[in-house]
Amino acid sequence: GTFPQLRSRIFKIIVIGDSGVGKTCLTYRLWTGRFPEKTEATIGVDFREKVIEIEGEKIKIQLWDTAGQERFRKSMVQHYYRNAHAVFFVYDVTNAASFHSLPIWMEECRRHSRGQEVPRILIGNKRDLRSSARVGAELARKFAEAHRMPFFETSAKSPQGYDCMETILITVAQGLK
Ligand code: GDP
Ligand code: MG
């Protein structure tokens, strides 16, 4: 056709979780294919777009990276939950506190999605790191099952982790089509 861009569909995915879990690195990795050399603290909301092709159809994925700091978030929160197609809840597998924060983030999501069932995906990031205080994958899987979310452990830092993220995107986009 004359306006092929009009046929591409847009999916808005929000990336949520405590500060420091790797939301910006994951978003950057998915967007550019690389791990950022340095990241600055996210201020408010920032989004990145990536086009993926599924069964010959171009799908534009908007990844909304968010800041954990309350003072930035209050005014933004409504804006970024609006018309979201999916939510990524991210925690850091070496930081138990970030795992225990998940119910708070999920409650906020519920409040702002106004009764709509937004697909949610649980992501344990930094799987490349070793730690004695690691959040067990079994525990996380049980939590994800209880809340009917797919669960993935990933790494923004390692190429394998990135492949996993790409798989997640494709899975999500296929589910939304
Ligand atoms: P955000 O606050 O959730 O956006 O977290 P950032 O993306 O800014 O990452 C916080 C810190 O964790 C940075 O120092 C990153 O380099 C580091 N980081 C992020 N993802 C990974 C990962 O998968 N593996 C490792 N080892 N470090 C990571
Ligand atoms: Mg950030």
Predicted complex ipTM: 0.99
Q: Is the CB of 125 under 6 A from ligand 1?
A: yes
Question: Looking at the chain, how many residues does it have?
Answer: 177
At 49 the pLDDT is 87
Q: Checking DSSP bridges between strand 45-54 and strand 57-66, what pairing results, if any?
A: antiparallel
Helix (H) or strand (E) holding 122: strand 120-125
In the reported structure, the alpha carbon of residue 78 is separated from the centroid of ligand 2 by a whole-number distance in angstroms of 18
Question: What is the pTM (predicted TM-score) of this model?
Answer: 0.87
| For ligand 1, atom 9: residue with the closest CA | 22
Identify whether the C-beta of residue 154 lies closer than 8 Å to the C-beta of residue 26. yes
| For ligand 1, atom 20: residue with the closest CA | 22
At 105 the pLDDT is 92
Geometric angle at alpha carbon 68, from 67 and 70, rounded to 5°: 105
* Main-chain phi, psi angles of 126, to 5 degrees: 70, 35
Indicate the top mutation candidate among 14, 16, 25 to test ligand 1's pocket, ranked by most ligand atoms within 8 A of CB.
25
At 111 the pLDDT is 85
Residue type, position 24, single letter: T
At 43 the pLDDT is 58
8: tokens are 């591409």
At 79 the pLDDT is 73
Using the structure block, give the residue that is written with the tokens 């205080």. 133
At 80 the pLDDT is 76
* Ligand 1 atom showing the smallest separation from residue 17 Cα: 3
Query: pLDDT under 70 in the chain at which residues?
Result: 1-8, 39-45, 68-76, 115, 161-165, 176-177
Identify whether the C-beta of residue 26 lies closer than 8 Å to the C-beta of residue 152. no
Instruction: Please name which of 31, 33, 102 lies closest in space to residue 68, comparing C-alpha atoms.
Output: 102
